[in-house]
Structure 1
Amino acid sequence: MVAVSAPLVSVIVPNYNYARTLRLCLAALREQTHRPVEVIVVDDGSTDDSAAVAESFPGVRVLRTPVNSGPSVARNLGAEAATGEILMFVDSDVALAPDAVATAVAILRDEPGVGAVCGNYDTVPLIDGTFTKDYRNLYRHWYFRAAEGSITGFLSTAILAVPTRVWAQVGPFNPRLTQSEGADVSERLTDRYEVRMTTRVIGRHDDDATLRVALGKVFTRTRVHIPFFLHRRRVVGVVTSAESGTGLASWLAAASTPLPLLAGPAWAAVPLLLLALWLLSDARMYRYVRAVRGPGYTLRFAGLHLLVSLTIGVGVAVGLVQWLLSRRFRRLYEEQPAVAA
C-alpha cells in the first residue's frame, strides 16, 4: 500500500503591533502535531518589535508591507508567497491548540465538498486580563459554537483553513476592506463550497482589554457591514449579523425609555417588557454562561452584553445614514477583487 504524504500547510499570520501575542502564536504553531507546516508572518508596518520576534523563530518566513495597509493586504501578500497545498490564516493574537492544523486538514481531506474550515476561540483568553476581555472571548466562543456546522453570511478569518486550489477560485481578500472582509469572501466561498465552522479546531484568543476599544470595534464593524447587506439586498442581515441576532428588542427598549415621563408611569412596562424579551431571546446563551462561569458572572455578562447590543444599534443607525448620504460608502462593495472564473 502506497503511503500518502501529508500536505504542506502554509500558515499565514498577519500582524500589526502584536509582538506580545505573536510570540505565543508562533510558539503554538511550533507545537502543531501536523507536519509539514510553512509559517509566514506578514508584518504590516508594525512600530513595535514584532518583526524581531518573528525572526527569532527558526524557519519562520517574515514579509513586510511598506506601510500599515490592513489585514486584507497582509493576508493576500502571505497567500501569494505560500507554497502549501492548504492555506491557514491565523491571527497573531491567537495560539492554536496542538491538533488544530491536523484537524482542519483532516476535515478538508475527508469531506471534498467543504471548501473552508473556520475554527473557534477557547473559552479561556490567551492572556488573562479584564472582565471586558473575558466577556468578549466567551461571547464569541458561544456565537461560533451556536453557529457550528455549515455557515453562510459571515466568515471568521482569525482561524481559517482553505485549500490553495479553492483560494485561487474565491480569493483574494478585498484590500479596501479592513473590518468586513470575512463577509465579502464568505459570499464567494459559499456560492461554490460548504464552509464549516467547528470547535474541533480551536485556539486561545487575546481579545480587547478595554471597554472603549471593544465598543469602538463593535460600532465600526457594524457600521461598515451596512453597505454589504444593502448592496447584496440582504436587509435582514442588517439586524441579524454584526455580533448579535437579538439586538432589536434592546434598541426598542432604549428608545421607549422616555415613555413613562411623556405618557405616565404605567408606560414603564413597555421598556421593561422589551428588555425581558431581549433577555429571553438569548436564554440559551445565558444558561451556557451560567454553567461555565456562575450566576454572578452571568449578571455582569448580561449588563455588558446589553451595552454591546445598544452599540450595535448605534452602528446600524449611523451606517444607514452614511449609506443614504455617501455615494462612496454605498460603493464600498461594488468593486470586487479579480477572482478565477
Structure 2
Amino acid sequence: LISVIIPTWNSARFLPQALDSVFAQQYEPCEVIVVDDGSTDNTAVILGAYADRITCIRQANAGSASARNTGLQHARGEYVVFLDADDWLLPGKLHVQADFLNTHPEYGMAHSGWFLCDEAGNVLQIVEPWTEVPDLTLVNWLKHRPVNLGAFMFRREWLERVGGMDPSLRQSHDVDLVLRLALAGCQAGWVCLPTMAYRRHRKSTTLAGALQQARCSVAVIDRFFERPDLPPEVAEMATGTRYYSALWAAWYLLDKGLVEEVASYLQLCRSLSEKRPLPLVFDWLTHLVRWTERAGRPVEQVMAIVPVVAAVVPEVANGLWERFVGWWLARRPFLAADAFALA
C-alpha cells in the first residue's frame, strides 16, 4: 500500500490536476490523503468531487509541515509520497519507485528527478540531480542538498522513526527531514528519471515567503550542526556548509528581486570565510552566476547585487564584478580567474 499525502492551502485552482495525476497512476493499492490546512477558497468544493476516492482531513492553518504530519498520522501505507497541491505526478512514478524499494530493502528513500514548470505547466527544465550527486550520502546531502520532496518515495517506518516533519519550520522542513533521516542511517538511492512536475508560480509558498525561506534555510543548517551526535567527518564540515548555506540564501533573495535583503547574508559569508577579499568575491561570483544559470535565469540579473558587494567588501575595486559577468557570458571564465589572481 502506498499513501499519497497532499497538503493544500488555497490551491483549488491546481488541486484537480494533482489528484488526477495520482489516480492516473493506476497503482493498487493506493490511498490518497488530502489535508486541507485552513483553506478559504473553494478547496472544499473541489475535494467534494473526489470524496469517494480520498480521505479528507481539515485543520486550522498550521503550515505545510504540520499538514504533512497530520497526513502521516493517518497513513497506513508501507510507502509514502508527499505531493504539493500545485504539483503533479508523472506517469509511472508510483510503480517505478515502489519497484525500486521492493528490490532494495536496504534503502529507506527512493529519490528521482523532476520537471521544473511554469505556472501554465510548460516544462522549463528537466532536473536530473544524480548527474552531479551520484551518491546520496550524508556528506553529499549537506554539500548539495538535491531535495524536492515530491520526487521522493519514503518508507513510512523511517518517517515515523525520526518523528516526521518539524512543524516549527514553515520552510525548508524538507531539507531538515532528509538530513535527520540520513543522520539516523536511512539510505537513499536514485531512480534515474523524472517522476513529478514542480510548478513555479507567483503565489507559490517559496515565492511569497522568500524572506522566510532564506531564514529557514540558514536556520536548518545552523541547528543541524548544533547536534552533539554528528560523526567527526560531518562535524568538521560546519563552517563550510554554513558559508554556502548563507550564500545560497543571498542568491535566493537576489533571484526573487529582494536585493536590499542580501547584505546580511553576504556579511555572514564573510564572517565565516578566511579568504582574502578578491578570492572571496570570486567565489561569490562563481556560485551566484552558476545558480542563476541553473535556474534558467539571465546571468545579467546578477549585476543587481554590485552595490551590495561593494558595501560588504569595499576592498574590491569597482568594475571587477561587471567584467566577470561579461567574461562568463562569453564563456571565458578563466579570464576572471586571471583578473582575481587565482589562475
TM-score by length of 2: 0.65
Cα distance, 1:70–1:26 mapped onto 2, change above 3 Å: same
Partner of residue 183, structure 1: 175
Q: 2:54 maps to what in 1?
A: 60
Query: Is 1:240 the counterpart of 2:240 in the alignment?
Result: no
Aligned residue number for residue 26 of structure 1: 19
Answering whether residue 66 of structure 2 is matched by residue 80 of structure 1, we say: no
* Whole-angstrom CA distance in 2 between matches of 1:310 and 1:196: 43
1:302 to 288, 292, 299: 299
Aligned residues: percent identity? 23
What do you get for the CA RMSD once the two structures are aligned?
A: 3.9
What is the Cα deviation at residue 216 of structure 1?
5.3
Q: Does residue 171 of structure 1 match 2:175?
A: no
Could you say what secondary structure the match of 1:20 adopts? Answer: coil
Counterpart mapping for 1:236-315 below 5 A:
236-241=240-245, 244=248, 281=287, 300-304=297-301
Tell me the number of residue pairs that the alignment of Structure 1 and Structure 2 aligns: 268
| Structure-2 residue corresponding to 1:152 | 141
Residue in structure 2 matched with residue 14 of structure 1 by the alignment: 7
Going from structure 1 to structure 2, the CA distance change for 1:43 and 1:288 (only over 3 Å counts) comes to closer
Q: Give the letter aligned to residue 235 of structure 1.
A: T
Alignment partner for residue 141 of structure 1, among 123, 127, 151?
Answer: 127
User: Following the alignment from structure 1 to structure 2, what is the Cα–Cα distance between the partners of residues 121 and 308?
Assistant: 30
Unpaired runs of 5+ residues, structure 1, are 1-7, 256-269, 290-297, 312-341
CA distance in 2: counterparts of 1:60 and 1:309, whole angstroms:
51
Q: Which residue identity is paired with 2:65?
A: S
- Shift, 1:214, TM fit: 5.9
147-156 or 173-182: bigger deviation: 147-156
Task: Tell me the distance in 2 between the aligned counterparts of 1:310 and 1:90.
Answer: 40
SS at match of 1:167: helix
- SS of aligned partner of 2:80: strand
Structure 2 residue ranges without an equivalent (≥5):
226-237, 264-276, 309-343
SS at match of 2:56: strand
**Alpha-carbon spacing, 1:101–1:228, altered in 2? closer, same or farther (3 Å):** same
The whole-number CA distance in structure 2 between the counterparts of 1:307 and 1:12 is 40
8 Å CA contact 2:2–2:29 kept in 1: the answer is: yes
Deviations 1:13-45 (A, max 9, x none): 011011111110001111104222111100100
1:114 equivalent among 107, 119, 127: 107
Which residue identity lines up with residue 303 of structure 1 in the other structure? E
* Partner amino acid, structure 2, of 1:168: E
Where relative contact order (Cα < 8 A, 6+ residues apart) is larger, the structure is 1
